[in-house]
Amino acid sequence: MQKVGILRCQQTEDMCPGNTDFKVAREGKLAFQETGPVEIVGFLSCGGCPGKRAVARAKMMVDRGAEAIVFASCIGRGNPIGFPCPHFESMRDTIAKRLECGVSIIEWTH
């Protein structure tokens, strides 16, 4: 079973407990159809806008076993408020560049 670390939006954490992220990861559904069920080794916020802490937090989860970094749908798709993060692409690209050790990136959860 692949191990993943999930980054979520700090602005939406008071509106969403992440239960759908955990459910689809456990069941291997939606964004996890290709990987199948995964084990979540970390579930952290980006650290707030503009996401400068996201790189360090992604590295921390990789250091603790994550083989993929997953952006919760609140960042890439704007769930539940309908406003995707304007810093998503920058965070994604920087994390991919800094964590070149075979860590994959999944851009959404549900």
CA nearest neighbour of 75 among 98, 104, 33, 43: 43
Q: Which domain holds residue 72?
A: 2-106
Calculate mean pLDDT across residues 30-56. Answer: 96
pTM for the whole thing? Answer: 0.95
For residue range 44-99, what is the model confidence (pLDDT) as tens digits?
999 999 999 999 999 999 999 999 999 999 999 998 888 999 999 999 999 999 98
CA nearest neighbour of 85 among 56, 57, 45: 45
Query: Is pLDDT at 27 greater than 80 in this prediction?
Result: yes
pLDDT band at 13 (very low <50, low <70, confident <90, very high): confident
Number of domains in the chain: 1
Query: Is pLDDT at 101 greater than 80 in this prediction?
Result: no
Asked whether 54 and 30 are in contact (CB, 8 A), the reply is no
Residues sharing a CB contact under 8 Å with residue 53, sequence separation 6 or more, in sequence order: 46, 47
The single residue listed with the structure tokens 């996890």 is 32
Query: Is pLDDT at 100 greater than 90 in this prediction?
Result: no
CATH number reported for the structural domain that contains residue 39 in this entry: 3.40.50
